[in-house]
Chains A and B, each alone.
Chain A
Amino acid sequence: MAQPEGTPVGRRVVLGMLGLGAVGIWGGRRAQDAISRLLEPVTNNDPTGLTALLPTGGGFRYYSVVGFSPHKSATEYKLTVGGMVDRPATYTLQELRALPQTALTKAFQCVTGWRVSDVHWSGVLLSDLLDRAGVQAGASALRFHSFDGTYTESLSLEQGRRSDVLVALDMLGQPVTSAHGGPVRLYVAPMYGYKSCKWLDGIEVTDKVQPGYWEHLGYDVDGWVGRSNGRSDAQTS
């Protein structure tokens, strides 16, 4: 058979795609952020919810770091506060709801680019729980444990005492669902989503900050939105 004639368009298509792919990996973050900003208002007003299916199309994404979907019912749930405190305590969900509740409406920003505006959160101020426990002298940090058994997070004591850091019980007007880290999760308004430990069941007061799950995977310990992880998102709080 004669050698096929003509230009090697197929090879050029493949090489062109490889080039675009490499450029996308190197610089795709900026494009992704731009698309996120563009799609976010659309997604928030889209009754069909279809645009939320687009990559970075807005809306919450579901992540679990373990091989199952963590779940605890409202009745079996317990939160322990311990470590360097005078009065270690265990709270049921009912007891947490009986404490003074604080509400916040803030954006939720993920370090991978997606952002959800105007999320209504309510729950117990973390600093209230710390005051009730009585933090001992020499303590300077907090460690958070998740009942998925793997996820951990940390904050400095100063960060944890901010007035925009909640032990959240409600999200968007209803109890926090399992998919969003319920029945109780942390909500650290000024920081990227990974700092808001999901499926929270333990708060431990420690003498120094111990990097959590995501920090071991390369994210910054001080995860301020717009000022960490090499990102420049608008601040959330």
Chain B
Amino acid sequence: MPRPVDTTGVDEGVYGTGPVAAPSSELQRFTGVEHWVHRSNAILFGVCMISAACLYFGPLAVAVGRRHLVKTIHVAAGVALPMPLVVGWLASTAFREDVSRLNRFSPRDWEWLRRRQRRHAALPVGKFNAGQKLNSAFTVGAIVVMLGSGLVMRFFGPFPVAWRTGATFVHDWLALTLLVVIAGHLFEALRDPESMLGMRTGRVSRAWARSHHRAWEAESAGSGTDPPPDIAP
């Protein structure tokens, strides 16, 4: 009897409380640690954006006041922002494996980006499509650049005044770009409920996987005898 699920981490287990469906109809997409990383990241991003609006947007800044407190919250959330990713990297083999998948671009990914009708494309997409790969890379880059420029703005003492202005420039425009990219991320998620279900419960139907991530579904179908990836080789 083949193991029903291919990427379940032995140290993380399957999460979600619903009854486990027949093995053939569902695939494990994310583990509990990955779900936690994503959720923590989203909450911290939210805190950063709300506090940023209270510092930046004039009418809101006047209404909320307490600039020092808001600034402290904003800086704390910003400094904490990379932590879930670091924890995920250290704690989960499945997370590291997905990072590796997100990092690599195959010729198919370039073709996927060039296609107009991506949703209906017959391209055999892997576990992540090229848009998801670019989004995750952009997010990681943005977290680090926002942290760096934010630290120059916060601890400006040793830096020339020009750097402070430059850091403000980078921080402001990247924040605006992030706002657009996050809006796009939410838009894509909201119009595909099953992909959200996949992030929330860790599981997706085989049919969904076949239509959105065909190569991943095929790879999973034949991997029944692979050892669970969280066991060290």
Chain B interface main SS type: helix
| B161 touches which of A25, A61, A218 (Cβ 8 Å) | A218
> For B65, B109, B160, which residue has the most chain A Cβ atoms within 10 angstroms?
B65
Q: Check B145 against A10 for contact (C-beta < 8 Å).
A: no
Q: Given A64-B67, A66-B67, verify A28-B142 contact (CB < 8 Å).
A: no
Q: Check B136 against A10 for contact (C-beta < 8 Å).
A: yes
User: At the interface with chain B, which of A13-21, A76-84, A96-104?
Assistant: A13-21
Whole-angstrom distance from the CB of A146 to the nearest CB of chain B?
Answer: 15
Chain A interface main SS type: loop
Q: How far is the CA of A218 from the CA of B66 in the complex (A)?
A: 23
User: What is the number of contacts between chain A and chain B, taking CB atoms within 8 Å?
Assistant: 149
Q: How far is the CA of A64 from the CA of B54 in the complex (A)?
A: 13
B23 within 8 A of A: no
Whole-angstrom distance from the CB of A25 to the nearest CB of chain B?
Answer: 4
0/1 interface trace, chain B 104-123, chain A, CB 8 Å (1 if under): 11110100000000000000
Q: What's the interface size class on B, roughly?
A: 35 or more
0/1 interface trace, chain A 163-191, chain B, CB 8 Å (1 if under): 00000000000000011000000000000
Q: Check A1 against B167 for contact (C-beta < 8 Å).
A: no
| B169 touches which of A13, A55, A230 (Cβ 8 Å) | A55
Q: How far is the CA of A60 from the CA of B61 in the complex (A)?
A: 13
Number of interface residues of A (CB under 8 A): 51
Residue in A closest to B165 when the chains form the complex, CB atoms:
A29
Residue in B closest to A70 when the chains form the complex, CB atoms:
B65
* Chain A positions near chain B (C-beta within 8 angstroms): 1, 3-11, 13-14, 16-18, 20-22, 24-29, 31-32, 53-56, 59-69, 111-113, 178-179, 217-219, 229-230
For this complex, 9 residue pairs linking A to B, each with C-beta atoms less than 8 Å apart, are A1-B219, A4-B100, A14-B144, A24-B170, A24-B173, A28-B167, A60-B58, A63-B67, A179-B62
